[in-house]
Amino acid sequence: MVSATLIKELKGKALQLRYNLLELIGVGKAGHLGGSSSLAETIAVLYFHKMNLDRQNPKSPDRDRLVLSKGHAALIQYAALVELGYFPREELKKVKSLGGLLQGHPDLSIPGIEAVTGSLGQGLSISVGMALALRLDKKACRVYTVMGDGEQSEGQLWEAAMSAANFKVDNLTAFLDWNKIQATGPTKEVFSIPDLAGKWASFGWEVFSVNGHDIGEIIEAIEKAAMVKGKPSIIILDTIKGKNFSFAENNAAYHNGILDEAKFAQAMKELDAQKAGLK
Ligand SMILES: Cc1ncc(C[n+]2csc(CCOP(=O)(O)OP(=O)(O)O)c2C)c(N)n1
Closest approach atom of ligand 1 to CA 122: 1
pLDDT tens digit sequence for 168-185: 999 999 999 999 999 999
pLDDT for 1 equals: 87
6, 49 contact by CB (below 8 A):
yes
pLDDT tens digit sequence for 13-26: 999 999 999 999 99
In CATH terms, the fold of domain 4-278 is Rossmann fold (3.40.50)
Q: What is the DSSP letter of 118?
A: -
Query: What type of residue sits at position 104?
Result: G
Is the C-beta atom of 123 inside 6 A of ligand 1?
no
Q: What is the DSSP string of 76-93?
A: HHHHHHHHTTSS-THHHH
* Alpha helices (H) in the chain, listed in sequence order: 4-25, 34-37, 40-45, 74-83, 90-93, 123-136, 155-166, 187-190, 196-202, 215-227, 261-278
The pTM of this model reads: 0.98
Residue located nearest, by CA, to atom 7 of ligand 1 = 183
154, 183 contact by CB (below 8 A):
no
For residue 279, is pLDDT > 90?
A: no
39, 68 contact by CB (below 8 A):
no
Tell me the pLDDT of the chain averaged across its residues. 98
Q: What is the DSSP letter of 48?
A: I
User: What is the distance in A from the centroid of ligand 1 to the CA of 279?
Assistant: 36
Residue 1's H or E segment, with its range, is none
Residue located nearest, by CA, to atom 9 of ligand 1 = 183
Closest approach atom of ligand 1 to CA 121: 1
> Which pLDDT band holds residue 261 (cuts at 50, 70, 90)?
very high
pLDDT for 272 equals: 98
Closest approach atom of ligand 1 to CA 149: 16
pLDDT tens digit sequence for 52-80: 999 999 999 999 999 999 999 999 999 99
Q: What ranges do the domains of the chain cover?
A: 4-278
User: What is the distance in A from the centroid of ligand 1 to the CA of 254?
Assistant: 13
pLDDT tens digit sequence for 192-249: 999 999 999 999 999 999 999 999 999 999 999 999 999 999 999 999 999 999 999 9
User: What is the distance in A from the centroid of ligand 1 to the CA of 178?
Assistant: 13
